[in-house]
A and B are shown apart, each in its own frame.
Chain A
């Protein structure tokens, strides 16, 4: 099988520049390493953290320590996000810490694209295509979950009161990026 280098396979699917619509800024995030981790809840509880990623979290919550973020998407599923340069090291470190325990770790770095959306009306822009209640009481800072945006599945994380991270599959990225940009048009002040 043809082996191609990592850099060659990481061609950007979105423009690097951010889009500004009024107070809303939509910014494609750079390459990062990502892993889908599956293990039993009791195993995760016993370990607490692996390789700097916190596993002992309530379902639908996230935790960030330095450049390492873990998002608990379900009772037995975590999305781990770390620096791109440490992909191989992270996989080895997680595997080593699990040892003989049962787990599965899949490198999904290339599957996903991250988009940051910030600004006063960011939640309303997301609600153009996401059916969740995004008020702070229902979706506080630090919450993270899989959901939908329009016709695409996304992972949505609230990183600040007016700051969100959207993760979507690579082939949905242009759609999701375009959808957010369209949704934000509603919040551009009309002049003249």
Chain B
């Protein structure tokens, strides 16, 4: 079982968590001004990297709070967890060359 570090609760078993998909996707400020293609891209287009991926997780059966995590999609290793609303931390020197930061990442 994976051990995930909740920013509030510390190291906890993965059974208590749920993943909420890619992090740092900002909702458009003025949706009415987007065309269908742009809106569809916001809803459905994800980076799906092979390597380090920034994700939203919720400690569902714990403190009940959302946070962000960097996870390597190849090894399934959780590299770091950090609070919602904070920028994506540098993935570090250990990041594989095939896993650049997402071009659509936003702080």
Contacts and interface: CB of A to CB of B under 8 A. Distances in A.
B64 A77 contact: yes
B1 interface: yes
B4 to A, nearest CB: 12
A146 interface: yes
Contacts of B8: 59, 74-75
A147 interface: yes
Secondary structure at the B interface, as helix, strand, loop or mixed, is: loop
B63 interface: yes
Interface stretch (B10-18, B26-34, B95-103): B10-18
Interface string A143-166: 001111000010000000000000
Interface string B49-67: 0000000000001111100
Interface in A51-100: 59-60, 73-75, 77
Secondary structure at the A interface, as helix, strand, loop or mixed, is: strand
A42 interface: no
A131 interface: yes
B1 A131 contact: yes
A148 B63 CA distance: 12
B61 A148 contact: yes
Interface string B1-43: 1000000110011011000000000000000000000000000
A47 interface: no
B64 A74 contact: yes
A13 interface: no
A188 B62 CA distance: 31
A132 B3 CA distance: 10
A132 B63 contact: no
Interface string B74-94: 000000000000000000000
B55 to A, nearest CB: 20
A146 B6 CA distance: 13
A146 B13 contact: no
Nearest to A131: B13
A146 B65 contact: no
Interface of A: 59-60, 73-75, 77, 131-132, 145-148, 153
Interface of B: 1, 8-9, 12-13, 15-16, 61-65
